Chains A and B, each alone.
Chain A
């Protein structure tokens, strides 16, 4: 049990080569974090994920000092050809862009610029105060990636009671396209917290597809805040298959900043064995004719907890906004919990906004139908679960990647 967790500003003093401006920004954020501490259920955005309580019941102590770990190479995915980046405990380790024109891609370690906004999420403040690791990726204009980029997000086996804060930036310039799979490989035998911040910038006519998946079940506690800035006619798709860790919260804020920007957020999660998974979104329609689409599917088994908090904000000038949001949960046992909080805040008068949320158990009539064809209850249930998650998987157009994701989902469902 951790009492009054506070970060000492000495830690910021130890960060080398920083400007006074950066130091002040970090100290300001440190103060903001220390005022609240770990976010708790009395904060509206954390009402369903009492992180303070989760930390208290899973950690006896916590340490924010940065780590340097030995990294043993891991097996690359063999299912499809890809470029890759290795992140080790959030730190940029190496990259390989053999399928691409290398002069079109810039990859550097952690971007020190501090043009970040203050944020009321205490974990973002903590990140702003302490993050030293991460990567910055920029794709030159008029360049379409030929192969997918896999980001191997590896955590080593020696991360006992650590909080790792890392910060990434992805910028896709005009008329360019990038497809990323962030593949988290947690080899840690111990519990740790990864608190990441990501800034995604899509310039005019650019496209980014970002898919999240965990290699396997693990004891990690992951929080990631993603800030997206989408410019004219840009197109962002986020596919979330991040079931697996003990705790996972993605907090996605998407600013549709110029006309015809599009944002799709889809998730298909099979949550099992006490997993806690939250997706929180805020889609800001800030200009006219932008489109957002959210489809969140959760299957919950065995004491797991799923949360979707989705807000759509439409500014007064954002006429002809088209925003859609749907959350569906399939509850397999009585021991699970699913919370959904859709919110619309609309100041324009010519918009199309819809949202829906349902949760229910497996349909006995459908089960009976499948069983009359010779399938046992377990296989019929699995088939219905896969069917339930299928419409999100269908968004993956590349057959080998789709097959890879389907196999991962099957593994999760079969462990059931």
Chain B
């Protein structure tokens, strides 16, 4: 699904990712943990195609280089980023936005665009499945949403767009247990042989609900240790300092 080789990324002449290697196969869920400032969000941003980074190294998605692929085409090809801080977009109705978004993705992949009725049915089903109040979808995108609502909205978007590869950038930060369970449910119910996940988190807590195939420790722009889910538990006890 995703192959990263010797990825270096800098912003404003500051090198942040310093030769990162990561290989995520179809159906796998990888967790990336690491201290503040280790480059976790930069990794998420670079994978999503965000402007402003100087990048070198190999970045391949489904065997194709992502080097020249702009943000929206990455999304259309099936890369989804659940934001650490979802943006508030005043004046834009969440449902309208989601419909435009879904249809952009469907159009790009040669699928028929959904009409309003089918779209609303899809949204209703997915909200019900996750236990999310669909009323939030008739509001302006993320405007006045609580922290938890914003994160749940990200997961709902993920469910609706149904991407092949999802990156969750600290989606668990600031969530109560109930919201955390909804997020986990969203991820677990999406897991399939043709879907992969990269879950970026600070805490082992989320990994009690989402079982990763691999856990990586990112430190100073590189993956310094890889293990199974036990690694996360070990980190919880010892902290990152020992790893370094």
Choose the segment among A205-213, A276-284, A346-354, A370-378 that binds chain B (4+ C-beta atoms closer than 8 Å).
A370-378
Bound CA span A397–B97, Å? 22
Nearest CB of chain B from residue A295's CB, rounded to whole Å? 13
Nearest CB of chain B from residue A35's CB, rounded to whole Å? 47
Do B105 and A387 touch across chains, with their CB atoms under 8 A apart? no
Do B161 and A373 touch across chains, with their CB atoms under 8 A apart? yes
Nearest CB of chain A from residue B5's CB, rounded to whole Å? 23
B-side contacts of A377, CB under 8 Å: 72
Point out the residue from B74, B90, B105 that lies within 8 Å of A390, measured CB to CB: B90
Do A365 and B87 touch across chains, with their CB atoms under 8 A apart? yes
Point out the residue from A372, A376, A387, A391 that lies within 8 Å of B89, measured CB to CB: A387
B-side contacts of A365, CB under 8 Å: 87
Known contacts A364-B51, A374-B72: does B83 contact A369 (CB below 8 Å)? yes
Point out the residue from A364, A370, A374 that lies within 8 Å of B108, measured CB to CB: A374
Do B91 and A372 touch across chains, with their CB atoms under 8 A apart? no
Nearest CB of chain B from residue A180's CB, rounded to whole Å? 26
Do A371 and B91 touch across chains, with their CB atoms under 8 A apart? no
Known contacts A365-B87, A383-B92, A384-B92: does B48 contact A372 (CB below 8 Å)? yes
The 0/1 profile, CB within 8 Å of A marked 1, for residues 55-92 of chain B is 00000000000000011101110001101001101111
Point out the residue from B71, B80, B83, B102 that lies within 8 Å of A371, measured CB to CB: B71
Do B100 and A388 touch across chains, with their CB atoms under 8 A apart? no
Q: Is residue B21 contacting chain A, with contact meaning CB distance below 8 A?
A: no
Do A379 and B100 touch across chains, with their CB atoms under 8 A apart? yes
Q: Is residue A368 contacting chain B, with contact meaning CB distance below 8 A?
A: yes
A-side contacts of B83, CB under 8 Å: 369, 372
Bound CA span A365–B85, Å? 11
**Interface residues contributed by chain B, number (CB under 8 Å):** 30
Contact-residue bracket for chain A: 20 to 34
Q: Is residue B104 contacting chain A, with contact meaning CB distance below 8 A?
A: yes
B-side contacts of A366, CB under 8 Å: 87, 89
Q: Is residue A386 contacting chain B, with contact meaning CB distance below 8 A?
A: yes
Q: Is residue B205 contacting chain A, with contact meaning CB distance below 8 A?
A: no
Bound CA span A366–B74, Å? 17
Bound CA span A379–B103, Å? 12
B-side contacts of A370, CB under 8 Å: 89, 97, 101
Do A375 and B80 touch across chains, with their CB atoms under 8 A apart? no
Closest B residue to A392 by beta carbon equals B91
Known contacts A364-B51, A368-B51, A383-B100: does B90 contact A376 (CB below 8 Å)? no
Nearest CB of chain B from residue A44's CB, rounded to whole Å? 34
Closest A residue to B71 by beta carbon equals A371
Nearest CB of chain B from residue A356's CB, rounded to whole Å? 15
Q: Is residue A151 contacting chain B, with contact meaning CB distance below 8 A?
A: no
Do B104 and A376 touch across chains, with their CB atoms under 8 A apart? yes
Point out the residue from A369, A389, A390 that lies within 8 Å of B87, measured CB to CB: A369
Bound CA span A163–B218, Å? 72
Bound CA span A368–B51, Å? 8
Q: Is residue B196 contacting chain A, with contact meaning CB distance below 8 A?
A: no
Nearest CB of chain A from residue B155's CB, rounded to whole Å? 14
Q: Is residue B225 contacting chain A, with contact meaning CB distance below 8 A?
A: no
Bound CA span A363–B92, Å? 14
Do B91 and A374 touch across chains, with their CB atoms under 8 A apart? no
Point out the residue from B51, B87, B90, B105 that lies within 8 Å of A374, measured CB to CB: B105
Can you list 21 A-B pairs with a CB-CB distance of less than 8 A?
A368-B48, A371-B70, A372-B72, A372-B75, A372-B80, A372-B83, A373-B75, A373-B97, A373-B157, A374-B101, A374-B104, A374-B105, A375-B104, A376-B72, A380-B72, A384-B89, A387-B89, A388-B90, A389-B91, A390-B90, A391-B90
Which 8 residue pairs of A and B lie closest in terms of their CB atoms, listed nearest first? A387-B91, A390-B91, A373-B101, A374-B75, A374-B104, A387-B92, A371-B71, A374-B105
